[in-house]
Amino acid sequence: MFRPHDTIVHTLAPPYQSCRLLWNSVADARGADIRHLNLTKQPPLKKWASVFAKRGNREHESPTDLEVFVPPGAKKFFSRQLAKYLVNTAKQLGMEHRRQYFVVTMPYLSDTVDFLPENSTLIYNVVDDYIESVRSDYLVNHAHFTLAVSSALTQKLKLRHPQCSERIHHVPNGTTPDFLNPLTKIPNDQKLVVGYLGSIDNRVDWNLVHAVCSHFGQQIALRFYGPPPNGKDRMELKRLENSFSNFKFLGKVALDGVPKTISEFDIAIIPEPNREFNRMGCPQKLWNHLAIGAPIVSTRVPEQMRFPDAIYFGDNPGDYVLAMKKAIQEVKSRDTSKRQLRKTIAARHLWSNIGKHAAWVLDPCGLKKT
């Protein structure tokens, strides 16, 4: 399906780093060009950004990264104009005779498919659980391929669309070599660093975090990193900061600073709520935490449950504290066997490998890059 130098992949998505890394890796695996259209809810300050687009092993500078403002209440018109833009610019760049693949991530872009070239290929990349909608159903039914980020979400899609099950595939998130640091941090026996880094809104069971802070006191320093949350999550974060001296919220970390930040964690936590949205997810932080090798304490959501030998589990405050005790015991024992197991799992899920797997899934003829 992906032949060297005859293919261009367009991604239509919010500026998710995982989406960019996946499709850059797919393009690398098959020598394709890549164009990202970043969908924003705010009017852009600058319309164009000049970035490096990859073609094979060569890099050339071109306007392949466009920030697109999604106007509320005009999605049908917006979808038509966006499709026209893609087709027209492909002609201007001399790409109209190449195979074109359009990657759509958001259900509200379902109208776009009606305006794409007839010979193009549509890929629906489902990165969150918003599949129970008419627009999402339309995309699954019309897409040549649907890629779901978690195994649970893949099964849910297949049950909802049995007629399309052969076109629905699991392609998970991954990590980068930057996180596979061979150095092992020597823990501080006086105070262990427990860390969380990632999105916070709708992704934290605060009762579990409260229990950890309360039970372990000054044995730990609990650090939370991520974009400032909204609503109830913001209030819970403030409550913890005001209640516990061992808890600190340190804000968002720049992408290039994430590997160094989480390498300081003695223990990583993923205290996701037991809600359908979270059960269907595949958190990016899972793969990054596996890569650094530190013990992980998580709730029992399906994607984490795929690795029972590498992760400690607890779903209520009491069980989560017990899981934390096991993680602390592992750190203090200086046993590196589980650390190496986690790194081995992460190494299998490098984005380069995920990209090759996705390219193979999308290639019904089993073509190899020549």
- Tell me the pLDDT tens digit for each residue of 244-300: 999 999 999 998 899 999 999 999 999 999 899 889 989 989 999 999 999 999 999
**Quick check: is 366 in a domain?**
no
In a domain, 1, yes or no: no
pLDDT recorded at residue 43 = 47
Same domain, 190 and 304: yes
CATH number of the domain to which 260 belongs:
3.40.50.2000
Examine the domain organization and report whether 191 and 231 are in the same domain.
Answer: yes
Phi, psi of 108 (to 5 degrees): -70, -5
- Domain assignment of residue 42, yes or no: yes
Q: Do 319 and 202 sit in the same domain of this protein?
A: yes
Does one domain contain both 70 and 110? yes
Give the structural domain span for 11: 7-174+350-361
- Candidates 127, 88, 81, 84; CA nearest to 104 is 127
Per-residue tokens: 8: 């261009």
pLDDT at 243 over 60: yes
pLDDT at 49: 32
Residue 187: phi and psi, rounded to 5, are -70, 150
Decide: 325 and 297 in contact? Cβ < 8 Å.
no
What separation, in Å, do the N-terminal and C-terminal C-alpha atoms of the chain show?
A: 13
Same domain? 182 vs 240: yes
Q: Judge if 29 and 145 occupy the same domain.
A: yes
**Is there a domain that residue 293 lies in?**
yes
Report pLDDT digits (tens) over 168-217: 999 999 999 988 865 555 555 578 999 999 999 999 999 999 999 999 99
Q: How confident is the model at residue 54 (pLDDT cuts 50, 70, 90)?
A: very low
For residue 268, give the 3-state DSSP assignment: strand
Task: Say if CB 351 and CB 174 are below 8 A apart.
Answer: yes
Phi-psi region of 231 (alpha: psi -120 to 50; beta: other; left: phi over 0): left
- Do 40 and 128 lie in a common domain? yes
Pair (323, 191) in one structural domain: yes
Structurally, the chain folds into a number of domains equal to 2
Query: Is position 148 within any domain?
Result: yes
What pLDDT is attached to residue 30? 80
Q: What is the pLDDT of residues 85-140, one digit of tens each?
A: 777 766 766 666 777 888 988 888 887 887 787 778 899 999 988 877 888 999 99
pLDDT above 80 (res 152): yes
User: Do the domain assignments include residue 76?
Assistant: yes
| 157 shares its domain with 253 | no
Work out the percent of the chain whose per-residue pLDDT is above 70: 81
DSSP class of residue 367 equals: -
Residues 336 and 193 occupy one common structural domain: yes
Q: Are 224 and 273 in a shared domain?
A: yes
- Tell me, yes or no, whether 13 and 148 share the same domain: yes
Residue 147 lies in a domain: yes
Sheet of 121-126, strand order: 48-55, 58-69, 33-40, 7-13, 99-104, 121-126, 145-148, 168-170
In a domain, residue 159? The reply is yes
